[in-house]
Amino acid sequence: MCHILSRLQSQLAAVRAADDRTARKRISFYQTEPMRPLKFQLRPILRTILGLYLVLLGVLSLMPNPPQPPDIISWDKLEHALAYAVLGPLLFVVLSPRLVNRVRLLWAAGIAWGTGAMFEFLQGVLKLGRCFEWSDLVANLVGTLTGLVLMHLVIIWLRRETRY
């Protein structure tokens, strides 16, 4: 009886060991072949959207515009801030995921603000009825930073939601 019992125990141990090896193979397979996250699959589409958005932003920034009377709250500055509040996070998403998020935030802010500065400079040089304004540059920077801060808060919130 003891011989039969020890034989069954050894067979059971062999089955468990085989199951462990099979499970390890499955785990190692999934670890070496991870499914690509959705954001990596969307990156080429987002790059195209970014390119189209930059073209639209360039056309709207360089389009001849008749002078408007100054307002207390300028809609022009709000338009600048909103346009660059979209550009900053879009650049953040498109930039390489290999960069640390803080570095990506700084790069996105710099590129967005540099783009705004370039368009403002071109407005002053091309003489299209528009002129260079420092207040537009400030509105671009405020919009960029607002969009990136909101993007960063969304990332923090998403990380907390997926953790629990």
Give the model confidence (pLDDT) of 112-136 as tens digits.
999 999 988 888 888 777 777 888 8
- C-alpha–C-alpha distance, residues 89 and 39, integer Å: 14
Together in a domain, 28 and 91 = no
Together in a domain, 9 and 75 = no
88 and 108 Cβ atoms separated by less than 8 Å: yes
- C-alpha–C-alpha distance, residues 136 and 116, integer Å: 8
80 and 140 Cβ atoms separated by less than 8 Å: yes
If one counts the domains in the chain, the total is 2
Together in a domain, 21 and 42 = no
Q: Given this model, what pLDDT does residue 143 score?
A: 93
Together in a domain, 18 and 97 = no
Q: Given this model, what pLDDT does residue 30 score?
A: 42
Together in a domain, 63 and 52 = yes
On whether the pTM is more than 0.75, the answer is no
Together in a domain, 101 and 157 = yes
Together in a domain, 46 and 1 = no
User: Each residue of 53-104: pLDDT tens digit?
Assistant: 999 998 888 888 755 656 666 677 888 889 999 999 898 888 877 777 778 8
User: Each residue of 8-66: pLDDT tens digit?
Assistant: 677 767 766 666 555 555 444 444 444 455 556 777 888 889 999 999 998 888 888 75
Domain encompassing residue 89: 37-163
Residue 36 host element (H or E):
none
Q: Given this model, what pLDDT does residue 122 score?
A: 87
Together in a domain, 26 and 44 = no
Q: Given this model, what pLDDT does residue 130 score?
A: 77
Together in a domain, 72 and 142 = yes
